[in-house]
Chain A
Amino acid sequence: MNNIMIGRFVSGNSWVHRLDPRTKMLITFVYILVMLWANSWQTYAWTTLFVIVLVKLTDQPFKLYWDGLKPIFWLILFTVVLQLLFTPGTPVLFSFGPLRVTVPGVINAVYVMVRFVLIILMSTILTLTTPPTSIANALESLLGPLKKIGIPVAELSLMLAIALRFVPLLMDETQKIMNAQKSRGMSFSTGGPVKRAKAIIPLLIPLFVGALQRALDLANAMEVRGFKDAVQRTKYRVLSYQKTDKLAFVALGGFVIIFFVIKELAHV
């Protein structure tokens, strides 16, 4: 089964669920932007606190977020190790050969890890509480002005919504094909690089053929239900900012201001 949580929506009725998707996207965007300025443990503590509060507000078990982090565990580890080993500076804690682990290295490694985890958590909050169609809708609305310079925003957002909808299906499909070919003796773990690359063909071709078939079927289903183009459509989920959204923006403003105050104070 797929335990990748990124991009998966879980329905609910929490305060965060009910926020306008545009609000959530803007919060996520601003948050990640602000993260770029974080440079001290105080600022990291503040940004962490903000995410923890948000996670609490989503009313979802923390294990869902934990599962979202697991797939990128190795990526985080890799980055952390790079930081540990290749950050110059003093004092040096210990060294083996040309590699030395320094105190700034350790600090950097921790910061990088925290930053990684927070950004993933933040985007998980967005996708966990917002149906893909709403994300696409929000994107269409936020990018609306780009229509004027000829960018097909409506089409792109519909494409995105459908792509998101099919991610879990394709993951399942990959697993099934992998099982079928393994049963026919496929093995990834033996042979040189050429042989290994070749071993992936029996996986890729059925996957492409299957995806193509799905796409054709879906196109038929869409056409039969009266789809002509993405522009001339009404929307089931109408976006409108509510009181809670205003509150959320005030909270976001507060977060940003306090962040920069903490940052300045930490310097002094």
Chain B
Amino acid sequence: MAITFEKVNFSYGAGTTLARSILHDVTLQIATGQVTAIVGQTGSGKSTLIQHINGLLKPTSGRIIIDDFQLTASTKEKILVQLRKNVGIVFQFPENQLFANTVLEDVMYAPLNFGATKAEAKLAAEQALKRVGVSSELWYRSPFELSGGQMRRVAMAGALSSNPNVVIMDEPAAGLDPKGQAELLNLVQELKALGKTVVFISHQMDHVIAVADQVIVMQNGHVVAQESPKKLFNRDLSWFETMKLDLPKAGQLAEKLRKNGVFLSRRPLTLIELADLINKEVDHE
């Protein structure tokens, strides 16, 4: 399922005195079956962008093509349900959306809304819960009795249970501990292995390096870069400064080393690369 943005503009309260322009001429492609990371400063339009992929927001002008679905300013609200069935979104702090009496019922909500029978929905919910690692003893408990980490997983299952082809996540790692973060990255890779298209917003460049095939960089509502992480993170240091973007930790440390007279032959992006380069450098002497 390919996603294409063609000259998409968006403003809140378009046509009123309060109109605030958020996205400007956004044109981009997200390839089927790949993992795409969206990065950029807080307020650069990342969240607004992803809300266009399932029609929560409609472009003020331009169009978005999600497989065979076309979204424009005039798309009717009613047919958006078809789109949303295929595009699951895990919002920031998704645990805030839980509502049902039991974990299972909460996760069944999406498939039921999208027309599944009770039996089908239950099966889908169980599958989704297993996928995110919620053990079956918890399925009949109230979601509000769970720990923060468990609630997060249940909420993620709630977005995956309709078996969408596209999975979008808005800062899914926010507030997770190191173990939770590692599990999240595993989940992203698992979803990719299942052939899903994954789009995630992140502030952690080490996560981008770990799982993304493609990075989209946003600044003030513009797409300023769209390329592979490797290419992106080898751009000039000054570019990262103007974009107020971090390098992965390995790259950051390499830059600090450079300032102190330790030059590495290239910019490392992971810890292993950095260690290798340092070892080589020291060996030479």
Quick check: do A and B touch in the complex, using CB within 8 A? yes
- Chain A: residues with CB nearer than 8 A to chain B? 1, 3, 63, 66-67, 70, 173, 176-177, 179-187, 189, 201-203, 205-206, 209-210
A217 CB → nearest B CB, Å? 13
Which chain A residue has the least Cβ–Cβ distance from B155?
A: A180
Extra inter-chain contacts (19) besides given A3-B13, A209-B144, CB under 8 Å? A1-B13, A63-B17, A70-B16, A173-B96, A177-B96, A180-B96, A181-B97, A183-B56, A183-B88, A183-B89, A184-B109, A184-B159, A185-B84, A185-B110, A185-B162, A187-B113, A201-B99, A202-B97, A209-B96
Query: Which residues on B sit within 8 Å (CB–CB) of A3?
Result: 13, 16, 18
B144 / chain A contacts, CB cutoff of 8 Å: 209
Could you tell me if A177 and B17 are in contact, using CB atoms closer than 8 angstroms?
A: no
Quote the shortest CB–CB distance from A73 to chain B (angstroms): 11
Provide the bound-state CA to CA distance between A176 and B89, in Å: 12
Q: A187-B81, A202-B109 are in contact. Are A180 and B88 (CB under 8 A)?
A: no
Is B18 a contact partner of A189 (Cβ separation < 8 A)?
A: no
- Chain A residue with Cβ nearest B111: A185
Q: Report yes or no: A180 in contact with B12, Cβ–Cβ below 8 A.
A: no
Q: How far is the CA of A67 from the CA of B17 in the complex (A)?
A: 8
Tell me the B102-128 residues at the A interface (CB within 8 Å): 109-110, 112-114
Contacts of A201 in B (CB 8 A): 99
Residue of B nearest to A203 (CB): B99
User: How close is A198's CB to chain B, nearest CB, in angstroms?
Assistant: 12
Q: Are A182 and B84 in contact (CB under 8 A)?
A: yes
Residue of chain A at shortest CB distance from B99? A205
Say if the beta carbon of B230 comes within 8 Å of chain A. Answer: no
Contact B56 A182 (CB under 8 A): yes
Q: Are B89 and A1 within 8 A (Cβ)?
A: no
Q: What chain A residues lie within 8 Å of B81 (beta carbons)?
A: 185, 187
Cβ-based interface call for B284 (8 A) = no
Question: For A183, what are the chain B residues with a Cβ–Cβ distance below 8 Å?
Answer: 54, 56, 84, 87-89, 91, 159
CA distance A176 to B85 in the complex (A): 19
Pair A180/B51 contact, Cβ less than 8 Å: no
Q: Shortest beta-carbon distance, B267 to chain A, in Å?
A: 38
Whether, in the assembled complex, B130 has its beta carbon less than 8 Å from a beta carbon of chain A, the answer is no
In the bound complex, CA of A173 to CA of B16 (Å) = 23
Decide if A180 touches B89 in the complex (CB within 8 Å).
yes
B86 → chain A closest CB, angstroms:
11
B17, B77, B100: the one within 8 Å of A189 (CB): B77
Alpha-carbon separation in the docked complex, A188 to B159 (Å): 19
In the bound complex, CA of A92 to CA of B158 (Å) = 60
Give the interface centre of A67, A180, A205 by most chain B CB atoms within 10 Å.
A180
The answer, yes or no, to whether B221 is at the interface (CB within 8 Å) is no
8 A-B contacts, Cβ less than 8 Å apart? A67-B17, A182-B56, A183-B54, A183-B87, A183-B88, A183-B159, A184-B162, A210-B96
Q: In the complex, A70 Cα to B16 Cα: how many Å?
A: 10
How far apart are B100's CB and chain A's nearest CB, in angstroms?
8
Bound form: Cα–Cα A202–B91 in Å: 15
Any A CB within 8 A of the CB of B280: no
CB distance from A214 to the nearest CB of B (A): 11
- C-beta contact mask, B13-26 vs A, less than 8 Å → 1, else 0? 10011101000000
Check B184 for interface membership: any CB of A closer than 8 A: no
Within 8 A of A (CB), among B50-89: 51, 54, 56, 77-78, 81, 84-85, 87-89
Contact present for B91 and A180 (CB under 8 Å) = yes
Contact B56 A179 (CB under 8 A): yes
